């Protein structure tokens, strides 16, 4: 059994795999001790966007062979990023998984997380790069924290996101939600125009929220990073 660990900016996810099949998913609420209890885990891989030394400590204490993902690890795709040492491990893992799902296509992977990240892998298995912009919650917090009077809006308290806001809250909702929607739509259109034969794969905590708002044909995969980590681990053992 393999253990894939995604240490993100806001949460930690643990995925238990048998070969390529994801069997169970846990979060930091269960904790690494619970994940390791009574499970025969032979190998583990960690993606670190955030910081958590406790996870690595427990893996080492339990004598589980562990690798930490970086651009220097053997990968099933070629990294052409000019500064691979600055490339987030979650972006690498998600791109590996997305490309494995659509091997013959150009793939644009969009992660709706703390940030909205765009990663493009062409049909030659080459990671070309992408883009990073603020995520939804980050945008709401920025409007509140960097102004004197704008409130902190919770999008989950609203059922609709009209184009024309009729008060301050709904105006902020329109700016943030529709702004991300149009940003994503425009970027997808630009990639499709330039490269063609494009498949879009979405993941991240806010993916379900935005996929329902977008009209594009987007393949949603909530545990894409965990799946990519497992593929990379199997590629190295």
Q: Could you tell me the residue ranges of all domains in the chain?
A: 70-134+177-236
Contact between 47 and 91 under an 8 Å Cβ cutoff? The reply is no
Scan for tokens 């996810």, then name that residue. 13
C-alpha distance from residue 162 to each of 87, 135, 141, 222 (Å):
36, 19, 20, 27
Task: List the chain pLDDT tens, one digit each, 237 residues.
Answer: 999 999 987 889 999 999 999 999 999 888 888 898 888 999 999 998 766 678 888 898 989 999 999 999 999 999 999 999 999 999 999 999 999 999 999 999 999 999 999 999 999 999 999 999 999 999 999 999 999 999 999 998 888 889 999 999 999 999 999 999 999 999 999 999 999 999 999 999 999 999 988 988 899 999 999 999 999 999 999
CATH: 3.30.420.40, 3.20.20.80, 3.40.50.410, 3.40.50.150. Which one for 70-134+177-236?
3.30.420.40
Under DSSP, is residue 191 helix (H, G, I), strand (E, B) or coil? helix
The pLDDT value recorded for residue 217 is 87
The pLDDT value recorded for residue 98 is 98
Catalytic residue among 90, 111, 119, 206: 90
The pLDDT value recorded for residue 133 is 98
The pLDDT value recorded for residue 110 is 98
Query: Could you confirm whether 206 is annotated as catalytic?
Result: no
Interatomic CA distance for residues 196 and 214, integer angstroms: 19
The pLDDT value recorded for residue 52 is 67
Element (H, E) at 120: strand 115-121
Integer-rounded Cα radius of gyration of the chain: 19
Contact between 184 and 166 under an 8 Å Cβ cutoff? The reply is no
Contact between 75 and 93 under an 8 Å Cβ cutoff? The reply is no
């Amino acid at each position: 059994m393999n253990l894939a660990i995604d240490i993100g900016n806001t949460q930690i996810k643990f995925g238990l795999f048998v070969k390529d099949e994801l069997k169970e998913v846990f979060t930091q609420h269960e904790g690494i001790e619970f994940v390791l209890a009574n499970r025969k885990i032979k190998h583990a891989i960690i993606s670190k966007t955030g910081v958590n030394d406790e996870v690595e400590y427990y893996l080492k204490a339990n004598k589980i062979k562990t690798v930490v993902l970086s651009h220097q690890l053997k990968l099933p795709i070629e990294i052409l990023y000019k500064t691979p040492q600055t490339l987030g491990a979650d972006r690498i893992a998600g791109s590996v998984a997305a490309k494995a799902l659509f091997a013959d296509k150009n793939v644009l992977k969009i992660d709706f997380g703390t940030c909205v990240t765009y990663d493009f892998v062409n049909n030659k298995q080459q990671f070309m790069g992408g883009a990073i912009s603020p995520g939804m919650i980050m945008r709401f917090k920025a409007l509140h924290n960097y102004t004197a009077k704008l409130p902190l809006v919770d999008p989950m308290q609203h059922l609709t996101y009209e184009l024309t806001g009729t008060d301050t809250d709904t105006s902020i909702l329109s700016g943030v939600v529709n702004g991300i929607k149009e940003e994503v739509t425009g970027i997808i259109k630009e990639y499709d125009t330039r490269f063609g034969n494009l498949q879009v794969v979405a993941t991240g905590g806010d993916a379900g929220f935005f996929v329902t708002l977008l009209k594009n044909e987007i393949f949603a995969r909530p545990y894409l990073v965990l799946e990519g980590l497992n593929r990379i681990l199997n590629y190295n053992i």
